[in-house]
Amino acid sequence: MREKRYVQEGIGSSYLFRVDHDTIIDATKCGNLARFINHCCTPNCYAKVITIEAQKKIVIYSKQPIGVNEEITYDYKFPIEDTKIPCLCRTESCRGTLN
Ligand SMILES: [Zn+2]
């Protein structure tokens, strides 16, 4: 419902992160800088959901050393949908779409 409402309100970017079947964290209107991490088909990080004191948290782990000024990316792992979102990562192994 929120995703549709944001589209209607003209909010073009999605900052929704599915934690599990029943939970989605919405960083559209508030959240830390991690909400601006872009997708990449060959990312240098990965996202993992961990539980701390009964609260689920999204943690971004690096997969490799990351240089100063190197962009931090992870694979959004969006579900496959009919309406495709083009991927702009420009890596050799780009899948072409996020979903
Ligand atoms: Zn890509």
Q: Is residue 88 part of a domain?
A: no
| Residue among 29, 50, 45, 32 nearest 77 (CA) | 45
Residue 13 has pLDDT above 80, yes or no: no
What is the CATH number for 53? 2.170.270.10
Please name every residue paired with 20 in a beta bridge, in sequence order, or none if there are none: 23
Q: How confident is the model at residue 44 (pLDDT cuts 50, 70, 90)?
A: very high
Query: How far does residue 25's CA lie from ligand 1's centre (Å)?
Result: 23
| Residue among 32, 35, 43 nearest 14 (CA) | 35
pLDDT mean over 47-63 = 95
Strand segments, DSSP code E, in 1-97 are 16-20, 23-26, 38-39, 45-52, 55-62, 73-74
Q: Is residue 82 part of a domain?
A: no
Q: Is residue 28 part of a domain?
A: yes
Residue 84 has pLDDT above 80, yes or no: yes
Q: Is residue 81 part of a domain?
A: no
Query: How far does residue 18's CA lie from ligand 1's centre (Å)?
Result: 20
Q: How confident is the model at residue 29 (pLDDT cuts 50, 70, 90)?
A: confident
pLDDT mean over 49-58 = 93
Q: Is residue 92 part of a domain?
A: no
Task: Give the domain extent around 18.
Answer: 2-74
Domain tally for the chain?
1
**Which residues, by Cβ under 5 Å, contact ligand 1, an ion?**
41, 87, 89, 94
Q: Is residue 95 part of a domain?
A: no
